Structure 1
Amino acid sequence: MKNIAVQHRAARQLLPKGPVTKAYERMVDAGEVRRDNAQVALAAKLDILHESLASLPPKRVRFNKPASRFKGRSSLLMSLQRALISAQSFFRKKCGLWYFGSPPRSIYIHGPVGVGKSFLMDLFFASVVVSDDNYRCNNSSYKHARITKRRVHFHEFMLDVHHRIFVYNQQHPRDDALPIIAQQLAQEAQLLCFDEFQVTDIADAMILKQLFSLLLDLNVVVVATSNRSPETLYEGGINRSLFLPFIDMLKDTFDIVSMDDSSVDYRLETRADGQSYFWSNNDADDSVNDNIQAQLEEIFGGPASEAEAEIIPVLFGRAVKVARLNDRCAWFDFSELCYQPLGAADYISLCHRFPVIIIERVPQLDANYLNEARRFVTLIDACYESRTRLVLSAQVPLNKLFVDFEAHVESSDGDGELIVSDKGGNSSSFATTMIRTKNGEYYEWSATGRVGVSLAQFSSANDLAFSFGRAASRLVEMGGQEWGRQ
């Protein structure tokens, strides 16, 4: 058996390896990860992309002047701008002006939770070194051209895009903002790595094809991970027929890598010894609850005080109030964060401000907590992405926190009511679209036109527990002793 292992290692050493495979094999040899054939194949694919970055052309010229500065001709100039971009792309591809060989193809990676999609993408991202000149990676033969990069959760990226659209339209309400915004994004990063590519918001769905077409045409390379195959993106969403051209474009311009054959959730193998999840039921002895409270106070750094509240600014001119806090930790009741109409932008701002967040009185999330569960999953994703330590005090054990449910809409006299039941499975939606009323109040937008039915609820009704599965898996990983940031 030992001879077989030695022969296998020797065979691997004969094969040419890129930086991603080398980094992966170092971790395997060190016992940090377990060798997985699907991960090995993905690493090889990412090595090919790394090598092809050498052919990435220079950044395009940025159009600094908004079309609205030219009175009466904004639409014409914007059309001319788009035509110029297309002409440049055609000339480059036909004449080989900038490319030597095939241009880099973006990659879309999909598969179940915990199979290593984000892990391998992060190894690839780390291997792409930002440099003013060509460089050699670890004194090897691998090099790529000057490049800028950005790694971001997909939902946070779309929030950024919508905020840019909002700001641009304030000054140029009659112009198409996306060509200018695409130019900005391309100037900031030639490599975009997206984690958790998921479409549940019609506002995202309607702009993705134009946005990504512009980005790809501006020589931006994209690597994305998702729990969803391209064919099932925005499944069940309102006006999905208008979204289908984006799926066709994705399949045509990206290399699609499936890890659906992998069924091992490696996050669940993480030893959760970081004391980040506490629970007791209503029948628990007072001493149990007192002990949990004492441990929460120890993590917080002392008794929680409401003497000095802090207002955390959020995108679009909004803010979140934090009543119990210190320099590094915020302490909330579940109702403060998940009973209120908060969304990803709010949670991301909190994570940027606090490296530790404590939430107590977390209920079992079943069909009676549809909106609350959706917000809670969004919060977990924000904490995971920012490596914020999330400490929970709940009413049930972690393996019973999420209860699968499904939803359907029943209409009467043109209105609708959302009906949920405790069977099957449903992923609480990832997105929250916030609308501001004339009175300055915020509420969640219902694009369905049905009373009491939000777009997020309706479009994710049959998403079969993807978000719940991801959230439960991430909570296990986040309970590790080494989890969090300083």
Structure 2
Amino acid sequence: MIKKMMIKAMIAQRHVARRCFSKGPVAAAYELKVDAGEARRDEAQVALAAKFDALHESLASLPPVPVCTYDPTKSSCSLLLLLARSLASAQSFLRKKFHLWLFGPPPRGMYIHGPVGVGKSFLMDLFYASVTVPDDDSCCNNDSHKHAKITKRRVHFHEFMLDVHHRIFVYKQKHPRGDAIPVVAQQLAQEAQLLCFDEFQVTEIADAMILKRLFSLLISDWNVVMVATSNRAPDALYERGINRSLFLPFIDLLRQTSDVISMEDSQNDYRLENRADGQSYFWSNKGVHGDNNINHNLQAKLEKIFGGAVSGIASGTEGESIPVLFGRTVQVARLNDRCAWFDFSDLCYQPLGAADYISLCRRFPVIIMECVPQLDANHLNEARRFVTLIDACYESRTRLVLTAQVPLDELFVDFEAQVESSDGDEELIVNDKGGNSSSFATTMIRTKEGKYYEWSATGLIGVSLAQLSAANDLAFSFRRAASRLVEMGGKEWGRQ
């Protein structure tokens, strides 16, 4: 009997091994997750894993990033600069022809869209882990890209665009009349030939206007492969955004260079299967904004999570200024070495954006926020900032501890937005729909006087179309934010 059981166990082990090795690396990793009970088999995920394996195999034929033969920032002679640009253009043409002749068509990227929690990011992360980074001397090894060894970067799309705008900002400070996009594209390509984006969405006109040119250079000239997950189909990107006609060529480029994969038929939100343990989201109807009479048990729990010696206002010090991109700072009044403690008004009633929240997440592994109100049509800008904070915490695996007025399933109230005109002035009208329904970065506009304003919060006539797009994208994003808060409440969530 024991001998038969041993034989069955050996056969099962061989079956698992054969199944893993007969598939590509992504499908094999997925099967291991299923066998370990860390994932539940889903046919849509199995099909997506197979597509990732096909892309993984095609990366073996991807040539290295070309070596740039000129630096436009270092040429002081306009004639030499013109000649250099002409030479670079000719080289770009020859690179494309040589690439097609020697390697065949370049690998197509992937754009995966569908509802929240269906496994898009999960599978992309398995693919990303399967791509190995070359050794230091691999650039001299002719066989270096036979095993998908390329430089890579996995980043939330909003964080990537903040990085792009900061690079443009730095370049323009030194070269006010220079063209920053080719230089930025070159920098990005030389840092990563595989770009994996989570939560690809376009809500800002500043992003929309540069995407077509930037990615055309990255993909066509610099052999960069893009993989992206999104809650939106390509045709719904930047929907009803201002000057959207100028953005449409990017959608054409996306379809020409990437396989568009829909998971819209998948309705399972797997994040909700792992319910929160109740140690990150607390609610009390006594915790209304401005009311400090939160029950003592709740306050004791927050103090325990906070832990450590306190700095800032509570200790009589001035707190800490956290540096942010573009030379700005965000002030933290109550903190210790690992945790920052805020009121909802500190972070969401102030003109802050993704760059501020990302900087906070990099500095603190734990963030506590008190007095979160129910978020409806009366809190558009506050809700937008809040879901941006959730995205930043999620991507950095920062533990976000919240106290709110209502249970989590009542935190976000769905709404619809429309534009109405009267006497030649357009006004954004938002109506509550009720019920539970998840974010996007904030574009900060700097005036000549040095003050910062939010693009969608200026209230200026002529930006209402941008406001309409932003409001509708916010309503669209509520479900993802709620789903992420559930996942982030798990016992294993956080950096430490």
Query: TM-score by structure 1 length?
Result: 0.90
State which of 179, 204, 208 in structure 2 corresponds to 1:205. Answer: 208
Give SS of 2:472's match: coil
Q: Deviations over 1:120-142 (max 9, x none)?
A: 000111111112267xxxxxxx9
C-alpha distance in 1 between matches for 2:457 and 2:96: 38
State which of 167, 183, 189 in structure 1 corresponds to 2:192. Answer: 189
- Match for residue 348 of structure 1? 358
Alpha carbons 2:72, 2:81 under 8 Å: kept: no
2:47 pairs with 1:44: no
**Aligned in 2, Cα 1:360/1:259: closer, same or farther, shift over 3 Å?**
same
Q: Deviations over 1:447-469 (max 9, x none)?
A: 99843956653213434833101
- Match for residue 152 of structure 2? 149
- Match for residue 138 of structure 1? none
2:347 pairs with 1:337: yes
Q: 1:233-252 residue pairs with structure 2 within 5 A?
A: 233-252=237-256
- Match for residue 137 of structure 1? none
2:285 pairs with 1:281: yes
Alpha carbons 1:426, 1:463 under 8 Å: kept: no
**Aligned in 2, Cα 1:283/1:91: closer, same or farther, shift over 3 Å?**
closer
**Aligned in 2, Cα 1:468/1:447: closer, same or farther, shift over 3 Å?**
closer
The count of residues paired between Structure 1 and Structure 2 equals: 471
Structure 1: runs of 5 or more not aligned: 135-141
Q: CA deviation at 1:12?
A: 8.2
Q: Deviations over 1:195-231 (max 9, x none)?
A: 0000000110011011111111211111110001111
Q: CA deviation at 1:17?
A: 0.4
Give SS of 1:60's match: coil
**Aligned in 2, Cα 1:286/1:53: closer, same or farther, shift over 3 Å?**
closer
Q: Deviations over 1:390-445 (max 9, x none)?
A: 00000000000000011222334443332211028999851311112233221112
**Aligned in 2, Cα 1:436/1:463: closer, same or farther, shift over 3 Å?**
closer
- Match for residue 477 of structure 2? 467
Structure 2: runs of 5 or more not aligned: 1-7, 139-144
**Aligned in 2, Cα 1:45/1:428: closer, same or farther, shift over 3 Å?**
closer
Q: Deviations over 1:163-189 (max 9, x none)?
A: 101111111122211111111101000
- Match for residue 484 of structure 1? 494
Q: Deviations over 1:210-266 (max 9, x none)?
A: 111111121111111000111111111011111111101101110111111100000
**Aligned in 2, Cα 1:41/1:78: closer, same or farther, shift over 3 Å?**
farther
2:161 pairs with 1:158: yes
- Identify which range, 401-410 or 61-70, moves more after superposition: 61-70
- Match for residue 95 of structure 1? 101
Amino acid at match of 1:38: A
2:408 pairs with 1:398: yes
- Match for residue 374 of structure 2? 364
**Aligned in 2, Cα 1:426/1:394: closer, same or farther, shift over 3 Å?**
closer
Amino acid at match of 2:305: I
- Match for residue 450 of structure 2? 440
Alpha carbons 2:112, 2:230 under 8 Å: kept: yes
C-alpha distance in 1 between matches for 2:20 and 2:133: 29
State which of 259, 262, 265 in structure 2 corresponds to 1:258. Answer: 262
Aligned Cα root-mean-square deviation (Å): 2.9
Percent identical across equivalent pairs? 74
Query: TM-score by structure 2 length?
Result: 0.88
**Aligned in 2, Cα 1:423/1:313: closer, same or farther, shift over 3 Å?**
same
C-alpha distance in 2 between matches for 1:426 and 1:437: 38
Q: Deviations over 1:303-359 (max 9, x none)?
A: 865133000000001000000000000000000100001000000000000000000
Alpha carbons 1:21, 1:44 under 8 Å: kept: yes
C-alpha distance in 2 between matches for 1:270 and 1:328: 26
C-alpha distance in 2 between matches for 1:263 and 1:482: 25
**Aligned in 2, Cα 1:271/1:453: closer, same or farther, shift over 3 Å?**
same
C-alpha distance in 2 between matches for 1:19 and 1:31: 19
C-alpha distance in 1 between matches for 2:335 and 2:23: 49
2:406 pairs with 1:381: no
Give SS of 1:255's match: strand
State which of 226, 229, 234 in structure 2 corresponds to 1:230. Answer: 234
C-alpha distance in 1 between matches for 2:21 and 2:243: 48
